[in-house]
Structure 1
């Protein structure tokens, strides 16, 4: 008897053990999937309100090569090196089956956690996360999906800083210029971002100068010690400054790429780090 022909991948995925769960979740993306607090909460974010931030695209925990490799421990090592007070993560995969790397990371390092699911991947939920060493007063999912090709979302959380409330917004923008421009417009007009102290960070996919990049430059403070944005992609030999950080009502100091040996293997992106100095309102 000839061997039976294997069904196509799309059919195998549709008939998989998590198909029903995927369908139910996919009907509601984007959605705020988790908001959790660390077991020990410090009173204030550092001396005089100064705290450190980082943004890191973890490439679905697949390391620098991607594909079928699942190696969250590589990104874990990099995040541990950063020792940042607030971290924005993009392309975070939360598997339907087995351990949840994001939850393990937050628990092991003592971070508060917020996660927004952008789309439902065949292996689990895929989205953006914010980790913080202090309580998150609120969290908001911001839908940035325009068209059917790319489902995108941003996550905005409110942090209690020593000088008052501050919004941390984490985003992963589209590759297409026109879509990215609409996403920036949606971000800048969102009530949680349109006013007050804000730090916006994430994978902006700013692979070339565009209206979206110019709009962000006009809205936020982009002064830092570099003449240009630090390159972050690809991690093995970075040439493009895809990952960025912006601020309003705060100053960003020492904005740079984290270029350790571990970071060159942990993802196809390098983390971007900076120090935030909140500015009291006049």
Structure 2
């Protein structure tokens, strides 16, 4: 049952729609499409989303013709995608799927060094006449890089998001410590604390790398779907947060 005053946000690193390595790798993008629909979120923030990949498209018979963001969007949802990384065979990045109208969107490169291409996707959504800003992030693997990327995130928010406007920042932070949490709290972004919200690795979760932070919204719940069906699709589990508008 949908409540008009509840905003349900999910974040999910989909591992480019493929699991396994070498000849044992398997295409999971079709299962992920069903999974995204089952999340029943108003806004779905996705990381490691392929726009195209020529080698995988040639290898898998059922590789979708559509870019993954468009393929995963449930009926009636709008998909926004921007590339973070361009590789030899294709490109991938962040995406946002929303059942509410998109007002505008932009991308910011937050790469800290040439070996990791990282970016943030900023989307402004109209929820029943109220503007809500959502930023999808995928931070780096090196601790120092993540600190600098959060500093750049802060500068972006100060520049692009009006004070007092509801804001959600969600994605794969590649971090389970307290430092980034304190940094984000320093500019008004907080996460609901809940038990059993580990998201990585999906098969036996030991850490919460994925987060949903917000300001200007009342947090209500935070949960992680569990079970074999979920850990088969990606190396991360999805994280679902609910807020009162």
Same fold (TM over 0.5): yes
Give the structure 2 partner of residue 155 of structure 1: 121
Q: C-alpha displacement at 1:66, in angstroms?
A: 4.9
Alpha-carbon RMSD = 2.0
Residue of 180, 192, 200 corresponding to 2:169:
200
By how many angstroms is 1:49 displaced?
A: 3.4
C-alpha distance in structure 1 between counterparts of 2:91 and 2:113, whole Å: 20
Matched residue SS, 2:31 = helix
Helix, strand or coil for the counterpart of 1:187?
A: helix
Instruction: Provide the rounded CA distance (Å) in 1 between the counterparts of 2:38 and 2:5.
Output: 22
Residues 15-64 of structure 1: CA distance to partner in whole angstroms, max 9, x if unpaired?
xxxxxxxxxxxxxxxxxxxxxxxxxxxxxxx644322110000001013x
Q: Report Cα offsets for 1:225-247 as digits up to 9, x if no partner.
A: 515x7110000110110000000
Q: Tell me, yes or no, if the aligned pair for 1:187 and 1:193 is still in contact at 8 Å.
A: no
Q: Is the 8 A contact 1:59 1:66 kept in 2?
A: no
Distance 2:129 2:100 in 1: 14
- Structure 2 unaligned regions, length at least 5: 58-64
In the alignment, the residues of structure 1 paired with residue 181 and residue 189 of structure 2 have an alpha-carbon distance, to the nearest angstrom, of 13
Q: Is the 8 A contact 2:46 2:96 kept in 1?
A: yes
Aligned partners of 1:254 and 1:225: how far apart in 2? Answer: 8
**Distance (Å, rounded) in 1 between the aligned partners of 2:197 and 2:143:** 21
SS of corresponding position for 1:262:
helix
Shift of 1:131: 0.2
Point out the more displaced range, 87-96 or 73-82: 73-82
Aligned partner of 1:89 among 28, 31, 46: 46
The alpha carbon displacement at 1:209 in A equals: 3.5
Question: Which structure: larger Rg?
Answer: 1
Structure 1 pair 239–120 and aligned structure 2 pair: CA distance change class (3 A): same
Q: 1:224 aligns with which of 183, 192, 212?
A: 192
1:175 maps to which residue?
Answer: 141
- The aligned runs of 1:127-142 (5 Å cut-off) are 127-142=93-108
- Shift of residue 136 of structure 1? 0.5
Conserved? CA contact 1:206–1:213, under 8 Å: no
Q: Which runs of 5+ in 1 are unaligned?
A: 1-45
> Within the alignment, does 1:50 sit opposite 2:6 as a pair?
yes
Task: Please state how far the C-alpha of 1:194 moved relative to its aligned partner.
Answer: 6.5
Contact 2:191-2:212 within 8 A present in 1 as well: no
Q: 1:123 deviation in Å?
A: 3.0
Query: What TM-score do you get using the length of structure 1 for normalisation?
Result: 0.75
CA contact (8 A) 2:110 2:118 kept: yes
Q: Give the aligned length.
A: 229
Distance 1:163 1:70 in 2: 39
What SS class does the counterpart of residue 27 from structure 2 fall into? coil
Is 1:242 aligned with 2:199?
Answer: no
List, as ranges, runs of 4+ consecutive aligned residues in structure 1 with deviation greater than 6 Å.
Answer: none
* Aligned equivalents of 1:66, 1:165: Cα separation in 2: 42
Alignment of 1:1-282 (within 5 A): 47-63=3-19, 65-66=20-21, 68-97=25-54, 99-100=65-66, 101-106=68-73, 108-162=74-128, 164-190=130-156, 191-193=159-161, 195=163, 196-210=165-179, 212-222=180-190, 224=192, 226=194, 230-278=197-245
**Structure 2 counterpart SS, 1:181:** helix
